[in-house]
Amino acid sequence: MNTLDLLIECPAWAGCDLDALAPRAVAATLRHLDLDLDRCEVSLLACDDARIATLNADFRGKPTPTNVLSWPAQPLAPPAPGQAPPPPEQGFDGMIELGDIALSHDTCVREARESGLPVKAHLTHLIVHGTLHLLGFDHITDADAALMQGLEVEILGNLGLDDPYNGEHTARAPL
């Protein structure tokens, strides 16, 4: 993968091995969708609940912490619910700018513990989830959620991780 710009803003991330985990999760997602890893660019901010609550308030009008946020660089949308969005376009330099992701350590770790999931597995899932959002996938409708969650399960399976939905796909994925 050409560029994963990782900014670790919160010291609590030190034990999470995000330097290895994030590129692996993003690359697995891009590979699964047949995108050229050497041309794709993603930025990832590893922050805490206070920072992500500010971002959530500023960009979504929700002044509360969340696990992951994403800001796609291109407005990719599926032609109809349950269909895949078009692939992202290359810029003039041949690069594909996908966008930005933010993860909150506090919320991610709390969710993993509450769910009985290994923290690294949950983080990997949320990075895959955020990357899919950058590529135009969403979970607003049940059809879109089924497509997105199916991709998440396949990608995580390719990484040797269990289905985070335990075989029961819910109508909504984590934000």
Could you report the per-residue pLDDT of 31-68, keeping only the tens digit for each?
999 999 999 999 999 999 999 999 999 999 999 999 99
pLDDT at residue 2, as a whole number: 55
**Residue 173 placed within a domain:** no
Tell whether residue 133 is among the known ligand binding residues.
yes
Mode of pairing for the β-strands spanning 40-47 and 3-8: parallel
For residue 158, give Cα distances in angstroms to 58, 67, 76: 35, 23, 25
pTM recorded for the entire structure: 0.93
**What CATH number did the domain enclosing 66 receive?**
3.40.390.30
Mean pLDDT per 10-residue section of the chain, whose length is 175 residues = 85 94 97 95 98 97 97 95 95 95 97 92 97 96 96 96 68 35
Q: Which residues pair with 71 in a beta bridge?
A: 100
| Residue 10 to residue 19: CA distance in whole angstroms | 14
**Residue 89 placed within a domain:** yes
**Residue 102 placed within a domain:** yes
**Residue 118 placed within a domain:** yes
**Residue 46 placed within a domain:** yes
Q: With H, G, I as helix, E, B as strand and everything else as coil, classify residue 87.
A: coil
**Residue 80 placed within a domain:** yes
How many other CB atoms are there within 10 angstroms of residue 18's CB atom? 20
Total domains in the chain come to 1
**Residue 68 placed within a domain:** yes
Tell whether residue 122 is among the known ligand binding residues.
no
Tell whether residue 32 is among the known ligand binding residues.
no
Domain coverage including residue 111 = 3-158
Tokens 């949950």 identify what position?
A: 122
* Cα atoms in the 13 Å half-sphere on the side-chain side of 88: 29
pLDDT at residue 168, as a whole number: 39
**Residue 146 placed within a domain:** yes
